[in-house]
């Protein structure tokens, strides 16, 4: 009898915790969106450059996901130095293969150029994109 009561109490507590977790997930999602908007508004020149470069992509701007936007903004911040997929993955907390896939997509679209640096491949904003940026 006592055991059944404890099981019911634990089940109820688990249900309540699951509900709280779902609420927290919603709050985290909202905070992430607000932070993205805040960062975008703080980096107005970069944002302008991003919008201009996206205009020339074959994919529509609204089809770019959050990670693609972050990678492009990171490329802008690094300037002519360029970045490797490994650097992008560490800076943005994504896998190297995911960063590489997006950078190569940008390369195919003409947004970035590839520069061989010994064993690594660096990606830099294409010259025609720099003209739009600056």
pLDDT in tens, 25-35: 887 877 777 77
- For the chain, the domain total comes to 2
- The pLDDT assigned to 63 comes to 66
| Whether 33 and 99 share a structural domain | no
Instruction: Indicate whether 14 and 51 sit together in one domain.
Output: no
Q: What is the mean pLDDT of residues 53-77?
A: 71
Q: Assess whether pLDDT exceeds 70 at residue 37.
A: no
The Cα–Cα gap between 14 and 124 comes to 50
Per-position b or e across 31-49, b if 16+ CB within 10 A of its CB: eeeeeeeeeeeeeeebbeb
CA distance readout (Å), 86 to 11, 14, 31 = 45, 40, 27
Rounded distance between C-alpha atoms, residue 3 and residue 6, angstroms: 5
75-133 residue pLDDT tens: 888 888 889 999 999 999 999 999 999 999 888 888 889 988 788 899 988 876 544 33
Q: Do residues 25 and 59 both lie within one domain?
A: no
Residue 67, helix vs strand vs coil = helix
**Structural domain for 20, as ranges:** 1-42
Whole-structure pTM value = 0.52
């Amino acid at each position: 009898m006592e055991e059944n009561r404890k099981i019911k109490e634990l089940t109820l507590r688990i249900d309540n915790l699951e509900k709280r977790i779902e609420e927290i997930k919603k709050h985290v999602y909202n905070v992430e969106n607000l932070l993205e908007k805040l960062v975008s508004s703080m980096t107005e020149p970069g944002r302008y450059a991003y919008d201009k470069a996206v205009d020339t992509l074959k994919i529509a701007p609204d089809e770019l996901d959050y990670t693609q936007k972050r990678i492009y903004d990171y490329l802008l911040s690094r300037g002519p130095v360029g970045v490797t997929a490994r650097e992008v993955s560490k800076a943005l907390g994504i896998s190297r293969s995911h960063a590489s896939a997006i950078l190569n997509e940008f390369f195919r679209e003409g947004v970035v150029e590839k520069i061989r640096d010994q064993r690594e491949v660096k990606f830099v904003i294409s010259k025609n994109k720099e003209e739009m940026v600056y």
